[in-house]
Amino acid sequence: MRVGVLTGGGDCPGLNAVIRAIVRKGVPEYGYSFLGFRDGWRGPLEALTKPLDIPAVRGLLPRGGTILGSSRTNPFAVPDGVERIQRNLQDLGVDALIAIGGEDTLGVATKLHEMGVNVVGVPKTIDNDLSGTDYTFGFDTAVNIATEAIDRLHTTAESHHRALIVEVMGRHAGWIALHSGMAGGASAILIPEIRFDIDKVCRWVESRFRLDYAPIVVVSEGAMPKDRDEVLQSGEKDAFGHVRLGGIGDWLAHQIEERTGKEARTTVLGHVQRGGTPTARDRWLATRFGLHAIDAVHAGSWGQMTALRGTDIELVPLSEATKELKVVDPGLYAEAEVFFG
């Protein structure tokens, strides 16, 4: 059997570990051959390939990013896109496809499965917002990067008696903000799931200053105040219909300065959260996902996705994993709110 592998959407630490695990088990145990598709769904759409064998995956475990490249290509937005993918898979002799990605990449995989393509999914997103799995790899690394940044910002904030706003990724789900903010001792955490009251945020900031501490506010890029919508970098949309977010941190800094009279500065972590070496936990999870993904291919479990449930790796339908996003429960946020201010 010849198996195609692709990585789509935003890159994250751990992608290479999945590719490595798939090949390292698939070649010696099942006798499969592997073909990597370049740049997400653009690979099978345009027949852009990269050979994958055991020498090609050596040394990948600690390496960030993806050796296959990625993109936000949506074949369903391209004329005859699905037909081209089906034709290219047949011409290349690819019998099955392992798609590694988030909601959009796996959403395409779900539709292709329904159209007869043999697909197995592996969940990937630093936002940790995919239903069906307790955690996705990349998330732990992103949280650790954000937490270290918050730790460093505490000292400079106190030296200059400033309020510092840390803007982290999180379009629809505030998992990174919540975890890193709690771990870093933030004075406030603002997430997309709960619209915030800017007056309340300013009271938290002022209470922190009264105690002779400089406040740190951690905010997801998709967080919204009660009286306005999300802040956009531009109105342009990508192939999946998503607008580009960014700027809520600067908006917050301006509001805090205007309402409290205190100096405020913003640090946008951006793609720093996606880059670099994966943590041990993400290497472990990505490796287990890869091993179970190739097992699913061998079993013919098409239309399924690997998922972490407790400490076990299970298979769940792709349709279940992509039908809705996993967002922060208000009760969990309320636990964190106890420490604000």
Q: Is 228 annotated as a binding residue?
A: no
Q: Let me know whether 225 and 159 are in one domain.
A: yes
The answer as to whether 188 is a domain residue is: yes
Q: Indicate if 41 and 153 belong to the same structural domain.
A: no
The confidence score (pLDDT) of residue 212 equals 82
Question: Domain containing 298 — which CATH number?
Answer: 3.40.50.450
Catalytic status, residue 95? no
Query: 193 with 226, same domain?
Result: yes
Has 265 been labeled as part of a binding site? yes
* Co-location of 128 and 245 in the same domain: no
**Is a pLDDT exceeding 60 seen at residue 242?**
no
Give dist(CA 35, CA 94) in Å, integer. 8
Same domain, 157 and 261: yes
Distance CA 67, CA 49 (A): 12
Asked whether residue 329 is domain-assigned, the answer is: no
Q: With bands split at pLDDT 50, 70 and 90, how would you rate the model's confidence at 189?
A: very high
Of the residues 248, 275, 302, the one at which a domain ends = 275
Q: What is the pLDDT of residue 97?
A: 98
Which run of H or E residues covers position 236? Answer: strand 232-237
- 272 appears as a binding residue in the annotation: yes
Structure tokens at 115: 């159209």
* pLDDT average, residue stretch 93-105: 95
Q: Stretch 317-333: mean pLDDT, rounded?
A: 88
Of 275, 292, 312, the position where a domain reaches its end is 275
Task: Give the integer Cα–Cα distance in Å for 188 and 201.
Answer: 7
162 is in an annotated binding site: yes
Average pLDDT over residues 241-270: 87
Number of separate domains in the chain = 2
Structure tokens at 52: 């994958």
Residue 151 among known ligand-binding residues: no
Per-residue confidence (pLDDT) for residue 311, from 0 to 100:
95
Give the CA count within 13 Å in the CB-facing half-sphere of 161: 8
333 band by pLDDT with thresholds 50, 70 and 90: confident
Q: Give 299's pLDDT tier (boundaries 50, 70, 90).
A: very high
Q: Is 170 annotated as a binding residue?
A: yes
Q: Please give the average per-residue pLDDT across 42-53, as a whole number.
A: 96
Residue 149 belongs to domain spanning? 139-275
Is residue 255 included in any domain, yes or no?
yes
Q: Which residue has the higher pLDDT, 325 or 312?
A: 312
* Helices then strands, each counted (H, E), the chain: 11, 13
Query: Is 339 a member of any domain?
Result: no
Helix 175-183, helix 330-337: angle, nearest 10: 20
User: 168 or 213: which carries more pLDDT confidence?
Assistant: 168
Residue-wise pLDDT for 25-42, tens only, equals 999 999 999 999 999 999
Taking residues 99-110, report their average pLDDT.
93
For residue 230, the model assigns a pLDDT of 58
Cα(174)–Cα(187) distance, integer angstroms = 16
227 annotated ligand-binding residue: no
* Structure confidence at residue 241 as a pLDDT band (50, 70, 90): low
User: Do 33 and 111 fall within a single domain?
Assistant: yes
Instruction: Determine which one of 39, 104, 127, 295 is catalytic.
Output: 127
**Which residue type does 182 have?**
M
Phi-psi region of 140 (alpha: psi -120 to 50; beta: other; left: phi over 0): alpha
β-partners of residue 314 are 307
Known binding residue 274? Answer is yes
